[in-house]
Amino acid sequence: MTRYEEAQQQYASLGIDTETALKKLSEKAISIQCWQGDDVRGFDSKEGGAGNGIATTGNYPGRASGFEELKQDYLKAISMIPGKKRINLHAAYAVFSDACPWTDRDQISYEAFIPWVNFAKEYELGIDFNPTCFSHPMVKDGLTLSSPDEQVRRFWINHCIQSRKISEQIGEALNDQVLCNVWIPDGYKDIPSDRLGPRMRLKDSLDQIFAVHYPHVIDSVESKFFAIGVESYTVGSNEFYMSYAASHPGVYNLLDNGHFHPSETVSDKIPALLPFFDRIPLHVTRPVHWDSDHVVLYEDELKEIMKEIVRNDALDKVLIGLDFFDASINRIAAWVIGTRSTEKALLFALLQPNERLKQLQDAGSFTERMMVMEEMKTMPMEDVWNEYCKRQKIEADDEVWFKEIQQYERDVLSRRNA
Ligand code: RNT
Ligand code: ZN
């Protein structure tokens, strides 16, 4: 008997079918953020560098610059990641060329993303999209869609309108639905003297942005609690966007698990939203004391998030996207570790005796519930994971793929200027 067959039997004795788990795992796409590859810099400005509510730390050598390098690195990473993948793009990753000359973000159009669409087609990837409302001189006093300066607000409204159009065209080209997620950095470092005005302006901006319905677009707004530099007030708070989404069918509140008070958990928010929303987009990250966007690891809260998705039959409702960017380690390994950890957590959730656990809770058998949950933690999931990688023709052994990344670092990354 192989190790997988032994594990299969062990899970079967608890009523868990590993084959069903593997099938479901292989069908669930993970949207992998392009911005881990270049520290959220994008291609649309010479100065580069992340700013305005986004901060990367570290200067590990070999950062991708430009479309060709980012594509090359992304391909390297996904060659070590099993399962279905989507590429999460930001508008700042527009590919300009002689055929498609530079335009500012308020004028940006689909042509600049055709190279990405071709890339997605070639490698059977989906695409998700985000307007880039940061790292740009039109962010004035830290504000975009909530700015009191009508010129500033208009610029960002137009950028978001263009971003939704681009998303629709990407969706048409790929015959798919594209998540278009709006996140803005707007807020104040110090105590505001008007908390309502910015929110009224943001509400009006959103109404203009979402005025047209696009069949290939799933719209979301990403709430946040605070950021470094905007400690006192965030315009797009969870209450604000949750209320907006609840009163605007077709617009969803995206939950980033780095955007809440440390004692709040996204695992508990998912089942709080499921009775009301047919879609819940996620940004899976690892907050260390704050929204620090550390590489996602196989940790308890991640497993708990995945458990809520699986046991509530919400695999089709919850859109899993990743949002981390660590510039202090090898960026390709960051992608691989973060995405594989996410998939492992999903597999862990798919291998739980969920029916039994629910029954135990309803029967008030909390002692047995605790025993089973603990028992499941040391089941031979690794053998199931290895079998999954084998079937997907992806290297299972971490030591082996890591050597390949080290080789790539020597051959490719270390020769770059950045
Ligand atoms: C920032 C948000 C946002 C960004 C990305 C780059 O706090 O989490 O999602 O990280 O869009
Ligand atoms: Zn996010």
For a substitution probing ligand 1, which of 52, 134, 183 has the most ligand atoms within 8 Å of its CB? 183
CA distances from 127 to 117, 121, 363 (A): 8, 10, 44
Measured distance CA(217)–CA(179) in Å, rounded: 6
4, part of any domain? no
For the record, the structure tokens of 88 come out as 């999460």
Q: What is the distance in A from the centroid of ligand 2 to the CA of 283?
A: 5
Where is 79: in which H helix or E strand? none
Domains identified in the chain, total number: 1
CATH code of the domain covering residue 223: 3.20.20.150
Ligand 1 shell residues, CB under 6 Å: 35, 40, 54, 130, 183, 222, 224, 256, 283, 291, 323
277, part of any domain? yes
Q: Tokens 């965030």 belong to which residue? A: 234
For the record, the structure tokens of 274 come out as 């499921």
250, part of any domain? yes
* 349, 306 Cβ separation under 8 angstroms: yes
7, part of any domain? no
Tell me which residue has its CA closest to atom 10 in ligand 1: 323
Phi first, then psi: what are they for 286, rounded to 5°? Answer: -130, 100
> pLDDT tens across 178-188, in order?
999 999 999 99
373, part of any domain? no
- pTM score over 0.95: yes
For the four alpha carbons of 148, 106, 236 and 325, in that order, the dihedral sign comes to negative
Closest atom of ligand 1 to CA, residue 258: 8
Taking only the tens of pLDDT, the chain with its 418 residues reads 999 999 999 999 999 999 999 999 999 999 999 999 999 999 999 777 777 778 899 999 999 999 999 999 999 999 999 999 999 999 999 999 999 999 999 999 999 999 999 999 999 999 999 999 999 999 999 999 999 999 999 999 999 999 999 999 999 999 999 999 999 999 999 999 999 999 999 999 999 999 999 999 999 999 999 888 999 999 999 999 999 999 999 999 999 999 999 999 999 999 999 999 999 999 999 999 989 999 999 999 999 999 999 999 999 999 999 999 999 999 999 999 999 999 999 999 999 999 999 999 999 999 999 999 999 999 999 999 999 999 999 999 999 999 999 999 999 999 998 7
Contacts of 351 (CB under 8 A, 6+ apart): 11, 16, 18, 21, 376, 379, 381, 384
149, part of any domain? yes
98, part of any domain? yes
Ligand located closest to 39 CA: 1
Tell me which residue has its CA closest to atom 7 in ligand 1: 54
Closest atom of ligand 1 to CA, residue 323: 10
* 181, 130 Cβ separation under 8 angstroms: yes
Identify the pLDDT of residue 130.
Answer: 98
For a substitution probing ligand 1, which of 256, 286, 325, 326 has the most ligand atoms within 8 Å of its CB? 256
Active-site residue set:
183, 222, 224, 256, 259, 283, 291, 293, 323
Identify the pLDDT of residue 82.
Answer: 98
The domain in which residue 264 lies consists of: 17-350
382, part of any domain? no
Measured distance CA(163)–CA(155) in Å, rounded: 12
Measured distance CA(34)–CA(322) in Å, rounded: 10
Ligand located closest to 35 CA: 1
Measured distance CA(102)–CA(105) in Å, rounded: 9
Q: What is the distance in A from the centroid of ligand 2 to the CA of 223?
A: 9
